[in-house]
A and B are shown apart, each in its own frame.
Chain A
């Protein structure tokens, strides 16, 4: 196991969103770190080409020799990388729309006697009875819970709410 694979998740996280130069099997790769897989230590780099298109490269953890940070990056790059591959449908809603959807759903669930709170940074996530969370854009597929009975119940309620407000 090489030095890179011996690192911990907090160390790997330090490299995220930064521009790095990676040597692997005597080949050099440069790009912005999207993530490092904690299971295989594979590094995923993103490069923006001259024509504006993107290229994504995964370097296998077992092949990594050195990783050097070349550029700390700024919040514009961070934003772009954070949204790459993540919540594709989030982009379709404006912050005001998301806020309206959240409040409308919250009222509906409260009407159905379901204990609901807001949590997380900027209060964007809804929390039901402390066991289920709903992330933006607050559709049935955005629910997270380990209790399948509550999950199915809340999903049905959200479905009904969305159908009624259509």
Chain B
């Protein structure tokens, strides 16, 4: 196949961070908790590599299925179970990357209906819907 002439790709520059020096992501801004380091019996580099690639493949498969399940929820009515046995229903909109927040609309609460709302994952125990 002949290589076509290189097409210049537009570069997106992220805005400067709050400290005025960095770009985009804060160095310790990681919201998803890192797994605690578990001291392992030393493995040979080959074993370690193949186990890491196995883990990564598993991670990718699990994540893809989860993202597709979230996609199937969009626009549907979802029932959220919160603390103290409180149940609310709303139309699911989206979550963010770490699934830390759920963006919903028409949230039915005991004190009325909220047009748009953001549910924190720490407030949610479980959610359920019918595909």
Number of cross-chain contacts by CB at 8 Å = 115
For the complex, what is the distance from the CA of A55 to the CA of B76, rounded to whole Å? 12
Chain A interface size, as a band, is 35 or more
B130 touching A54, Cβ below 8 Å: yes
A-chain residues with CB within 8 Å of residue B35 when the two chains form the complex: 5-6, 8
Determine whether B21 belongs to the interface, using a CB cutoff of 8 Å to chain A: no
Closest to B38 in A: A6
Knowing A1-B33, A9-B58, A13-B61, say if A35 contacts B129 (CB, 8 Å). no
B-chain residues with CB within 8 Å of residue A1 when the two chains form the complex: 33, 36
A58 touching B121, Cβ below 8 Å: no
B66 touching A37, Cβ below 8 Å: yes
Number of interface residues of B (CB under 8 A): 41
Select which of A42, A57, A63, A112 is within 8 A of B128 by beta carbon.
A57
Select which of B9, B36, B65 is within 8 A of A148 by beta carbon.
B9
A56 touching B62, Cβ below 8 Å: no
Determine whether A123 belongs to the interface, using a CB cutoff of 8 Å to chain B: no
For the complex, what is the distance from the CA of A60 to the CA of B126, rounded to whole Å? 6
For the complex, what is the distance from the CA of A86 to the CA of B68, rounded to whole Å? 7
Give residues 1-58 of B contacting A (CB, 8 Å). Answer: 1, 3-4, 6-7, 9, 32-33, 35-36, 54-56, 58
Q: How far is the CB of B3 from chain A (nearest CB, A)?
A: 8
For the complex, what is the distance from the CA of A62 to the CA of B81, rounded to whole Å? 14
A85 touching B99, Cβ below 8 Å: no
Closest to B54 in A: A10
| Residues of A contacting B: mostly | mixed
A-chain residues with CB within 8 Å of residue B121 when the two chains form the complex: 40, 60, 62
For the complex, what is the distance from the CA of A118 to the CA of B84, rounded to whole Å? 55
Knowing A35-B62, A37-B66, A38-B59, say if A25 contacts B32 (CB, 8 Å). no
Select which of A35, A62, A113 is within 8 A of B65 by beta carbon.
A35
Q: How far is the CB of B30 from chain A (nearest CB, A)?
A: 11
Residues of A within 8 A of B (CB): 1, 5-6, 8-10, 12-13, 16, 24-25, 27, 29, 34-40, 42, 44, 53-60, 62-63, 84-86, 112-115, 129, 148-150, 153
Closest 9 CB pairs of A and B: A35-B65, A9-B58, A37-B66, A57-B128, A40-B99, A85-B68, A9-B59, A38-B59, A59-B126
